[in-house]
Amino acid sequence: MKKKKLLAAAIVLCMVIQLLCACGKQKISMSDKVYVGVTCYDQNDTFLSELLVCFKEELNHLNKNGVETTVTVKNAAGSQRTQNDQVKELINAGCNVLCVNLVDRADPSEIIDVAKEHDVPIIFFNREPVAEDMRQWDRLYYVGADAKQSGVLQGELAVEMIRQNSQIDHNKDGKIQYVVLEGEAGHQDAIIRTENAVDTLNKNGIELEKLSYQIANWNRAQAQNRMEQMLGQYKNKIELVLANNDDMALGALDAYKNLNYTEALLPVFIGIDGTDMGLKAVEDSSMAGTVYNDKEGQARAIAKLSAALVIGKEAEEIKFTNENYIYLPYSKVTKENVHEYLK
Ligand code: GAL
Ligand code: CA
């Protein structure tokens, strides 16, 4: 009996030792190559596709500086379930850092659980998870921009234009009749941008009359369609179009062109992002202005942080806004300074 107990104890001891060794090994073998797995809420989104181009350039830059990186990009095409599966695939394929542009910013738990289980850190970007979810694990990061700032700057652009040009008040009633084209319901950049743009106009003493608003999911074609509906109702009464992004501002302009409105009847269009098309529209004055969403800065931050999390290099240069957050500042773009932004 005694012998049996001793044997059992010896076996248990062996198992414990083996386990300890295995854990030790895992910790020591920190990778020297950065395998980045990216999944994007919708790769047809103009701003995000431009951001991804910048991101790949940044990774090439790291490669040239002797940090070996590879990247796999997946398109969740609007489905959170697809994205959850993609994260598992990316981890199984050996990715050691994940960059996740959530489909549903309020639903990251499944992704966080899998990543945690495999100890693969996550950099969320562009679609900000709620703070509570960010606290689920200490290897979660966010790279993006402060939505409030973009709204305030858009409001300031509108204030400046209205003050400079009395013609904007077409019907001379002392009020600016406006409509809003909003991004997605539930997206931090949609709600907060609208709120702060309008707030800023109010605070600056501009009298406003809101005619209508429509959700167009950041999308140019949808925005054209919604704008045509609004034009059916308000005809030439609209004096200002505030769009949560450039694609929707351009879609609104498409609607006016499609319905053959003359130049004199066009409202002022203001966007956000400074996409390639958006900047061109500011340059040729079809859009009055935009707010630059610093995709280069965000791409650089995501790339550097990825490398830092895997191999510890480049970490010293990273500036966190607070704890695990990196916010890049927005800036105002008008015809006067657009050349600084055009490539
Ligand atoms: C915003 C951007 C939009 C759209 C959206 C997607 O920051 O301004 O154009 O890309 O993100 O989440
Ligand atoms: Ca008016």
Q: Which tens digit of pLDDT belongs to each residue from 156-213?
A: 999 999 999 999 999 999 999 999 999 998 898 999 999 999 999 999 999 999 999 9
User: Quick check: is 17 in a domain?
Assistant: no
Q: Where are the alpha helices (DSSP H) in the chain?
A: 2-28, 46-64, 80-92, 109-117, 131-134, 147-164, 188-203, 220-234, 246-258, 276-283, 295-311
Best of 273, 275, 331 for a ligand 1 pocket test (most atoms within 8 Å of beta carbon): 273
Same domain, 118 and 163: no
User: Quick check: is 255 in a domain?
Assistant: yes
In sign, the C-alpha dihedral spanning 203, 204, 205, 210 is negative
The pLDDT of residue 116 is above 50: yes
Band (9; pLDDT cuts 50, 70, 90): low
Whether the Cβ atoms of residue 241 and residue 214 lie closer than 8 Å to each other: no
Same domain, 165 and 267: yes
pTM: 0.90
Q: What is the DSSP letter of 44?
A: T
User: Quick check: is 281 in a domain?
Assistant: yes
The pLDDT of residue 243 is above 60: yes
CA of 46 to the centre of ligand 1 (A): 8
39 CB within 6 A, ligand 1: no
| The two three-digit tokens of residue 155, written as one number | 């409001």
The pLDDT of residue 46 is above 60: yes
CA of 185 to the centre of ligand 2 (A): 28
Mean pLDDT of all residues belonging to the chain = 92
Number of domains in the chain: 2
Ligand 1 atom nearest to 147, measured from its CA = 7
Secondary element (H or E) of residue 269? strand 268-270
User: Quick check: is 2 in a domain?
Assistant: no
What would the pLDDT profile of 67-114 be if each residue is shown by its tens digit? 999 999 999 999 999 999 999 999 999 999 999 999 999 999 999 999
Q: What is the DSSP letter of 108?
A: -
User: Quick check: is 297 in a domain?
Assistant: yes
Same domain, 42 and 92: yes
Which residues neighbour ligand 2 (ion) by CB within 5 Å?
A: 169, 171, 173, 175
For 222, the domain range is: 146-291
The widest CA-to-CA distance across the chain, in whole angstroms, is 102
Same domain, 162 and 285: yes
Same domain, 239 and 252: yes
In sign, the C-alpha dihedral spanning 26, 29, 30, 36 is negative
Same domain, 150 and 119: no
Same domain, 113 and 135: yes
CATH number at residue 72: 3.40.50.2300
Same domain, 166 and 278: yes
Same domain, 155 and 287: yes
| The two three-digit tokens of residue 338, written as one number | 């657009």
Same domain, 272 and 317: no
Best of 48, 154, 193, 250 for a ligand 1 pocket test (most atoms within 8 Å of beta carbon): 48
User: Quick check: is 134 in a domain?
Assistant: yes
CA of 127 to the centre of ligand 2 (A): 35
Same domain, 199 and 283: yes
CA of 173 to the centre of ligand 2 (A): 5
Ligand having the closest approach to the CA of 207: 2
User: Quick check: is 279 in a domain?
Assistant: yes
What would the pLDDT profile of 275-313 be if each residue is shown by its tens digit? 999 999 999 999 999 999 999 999 999 999 999 999 986
User: Quick check: is 108 in a domain?
Assistant: yes
Same domain, 113 and 207: no
